[in-house]
Amino acid sequence: MRVFPRKTAVVYGNRRWTWSEFAQEVGRFAGALARAGIEPGDRVAVLAPNVPTVLAAHFAVLGLRAVLVTINTRLSADEVGYILNHSGARVVLVDPELADRVSDAPRLDASPLLVNLEDPIAGVAGSPLDGPSFDAFVDGADVLPVTGGTDDEDRVTSINYTSGTTGRPKGVMYTHRGTALNALSEMIVHKLERDSVFLWTLPLFHCNGWCFPWAVTAAAGTHVMLRAIESRRILELVKAEGVTHFNGAPTVLLMLAEAPEAKGVRFDPPIRVATGGSPPSPTLLGRMEELGVKVIHLYGLTETYGPHVYCEMQPEWEGLDVEGRARVMARQGVPYQIATHLRVVDEGMRDVPADAESMGEVVMRGNNVMKGYFEDPEATAEAFRGGWFHSGDLGVVHPDGYIELRDRKKDMIISGGENISTIEVEHTLVKHPAVLECAVVAMPHEKWGEVPKAFVTLRPNAGVTEADLIAFCREQIAHFKCPKAIEFTELPKTSTGKIQKFRLREKEWAGRDTRIQ
């Protein structure tokens, strides 16, 4: 606002805001929250897709030293109600398309003020909640000045709830220090600058968009908002707005690469795309390179403000062929500049040898590790046992210091005493030209305890049998690692594109007392 007041800040449909105009919107939003009685430490929740008001909330709420709670748009009414009650949100802003998640939720203990976020550009319908429209909510409010700084860098900025696949979601607390430093790292790693145009394919509710709302703004780039993920619309906006950056899970990249509209397309100059959530296969990385996408492979968790590690390209890798370059870029890599505390350790918290073979758990601590779980000291203590945050991810360290994930602890298959990495099996399967995507989980076996089973989505009109794919794997990897069964199906996914392996695993182990560990 101060440096580039007339530069385009936000684009949504046919509407555009300069930085000066966006600052006015943020100031009026903050003034309306203050008028509604929001004070430092109060929680303000948002349940909406990637629309401009959600972006503005990342500044208006924090400007009052209040706490932002962005809620996953694919949660059920029961889950949304739990988060609203657990966080004690005093104001809840809801998109009309998602209003039933609040109206059908169990009783809200705090009786929050419900505000309806109309979206006249998208024209979505829904039953309004018992509360004002956003326009009425902000009408006549004082425009508070947009100022930087805080009275306490350890003050909580936001609470991001985990997916809750093994129980109720946990509220991950971010701080002003952590968000500021992580945003600074995003600017460095992803080369965000004044002329950057960032397309919001990543949900803003996911780790506060990996802290990119603050990073893109600090760089004075342009935010291009996108309500829903559609490959055709992404390609249109890339061309129309000169998009330089976007983020997404590997499944989002795969959707784009496979879109009919992408046939023959090559972005020039290349677009920088950050991906994470699961390791992209070398096959997918090679396809993205053909499309003119420069992939930055990230790794992190909700508890680490999103990205904690990235795969920095080494000069000598530039000379490798596409397959070789994709293979090394599938590693998770090295810590962000402000996240130097990263280890892979054994059960005794000893560092594993850097031999690319010895596996251990990835642990981290430092600036961009959460403050803790909101109102859950027991879970916080367990996560930080030994003074380090335990990720639950298993990996190795290469001789050059780059880490590479081999599996989640809960996903690792132990067959007859041998460890099998589901990631290795998945990366083998997607090399087959008929395979679009896949997931591998453990299934029960009378002799070996458990063995791999693959769930596979084929490319349109592809013809391949279970026996064909198993034989293909046996040509690539050790026979004991190969799937013993393959099921052709659509894969269940989260709203951010992660494959929900736990649902596939539960299906295989239904009726059993426990999975063999």
Q: Which residues pair with 437 in a beta bridge?
A: 457
- Report the pLDDT averaged over residues 502-516: 75
Domain extents in the chain: 8-176, 248-362+389-408, 413-509
Q: Taking the model in full, what pTM does it have?
A: 0.86
pLDDT, position 167: 65
- For residue 269, whether the previous peptide bond is cis, meaning omega lies within 30 degrees of 0, is yes
- What CATH superfamily is the domain 413-509? ANL, C-terminal domain (3.30.300.30)
Tokens of 252: 């989002």
449-477 pLDDT per residue, tens: 899 999 999 999 898 999 999 999 999 88
Q: What SS3 class is residue 164?
A: coil
Eight-state DSSP code of residue 385: G
- Predicted confidence band of residue 164 (pLDDT cuts 50, 70, 90): low
**Where are the extended beta strands (E) located within 142-292?**
156-161, 171-175, 197-199, 222-224, 245-247, 271-275
Q: Per-residue pLDDT for 278 more than 80? A: no
- Which CATH class for the 248-362+389-408 domain? alpha beta
Q: Per-residue pLDDT for 88 more than 60? A: yes
Measured CA to CA, the distance from residue 400 to residue 413 in angstroms comes to 27
Q: Per-residue pLDDT for 514 more than 50? A: no
Which residue from 332, 346, 485, 316 is spatially nearest to 409, judged by alpha carbons?
A: 346
Say what angle helices 52-63 and 19-35 make with each other, to 10 degrees.
Answer: 60
Alpha-helical segments (H) within 64-195: 77-87, 99-103, 134-138, 176-189
| Cβ neighbours of residue 8 closer than 8 Å, sequence gap 6 or more | 16, 17, 18, 222
Tokens of 133: 């429209």
The radius of gyration of the chain's CA atoms, rounded to the nearest angstrom, is 23
Which residue from 482, 481, 463, 461 is spatially nearest to 472, judged by alpha carbons?
A: 482
Other CB atoms within a 10 A radius of the CB of residue 58 amount to 24
Q: Per-residue pLDDT for 232 more than 80? A: yes
Q: Per-residue pLDDT for 130 more than 50? A: yes
- Predicted confidence band of residue 351 (pLDDT cuts 50, 70, 90): very high
Topology match between the domains 8-176 and 248-362+389-408: yes
288-325 pLDDT per residue, tens: 888 999 999 999 999 999 999 999 999 999 888 877 88
Q: What SS3 class is residue 429?
A: helix
- Predicted confidence band of residue 276 (pLDDT cuts 50, 70, 90): confident
CATH of domain 8-176: 3.40.50.12780
Q: How distant, in Å, are the alpha carbons of 95, 247, 272, 325, 435 from that of 276?
A: 27, 8, 13, 18, 21
Pairing of strands 372-373, 389-397: unpaired
pLDDT, position 252: 86
- Predicted confidence band of residue 147 (pLDDT cuts 50, 70, 90): confident
Q: Per-residue pLDDT for 374 more than 80? A: yes
- Predicted confidence band of residue 517 (pLDDT cuts 50, 70, 90): very low
pLDDT, position 213: 98
- Predicted confidence band of residue 347 (pLDDT cuts 50, 70, 90): very high
**Single-letter code of the amino acid located at 191:** K
Eight-state DSSP code of residue 305: T
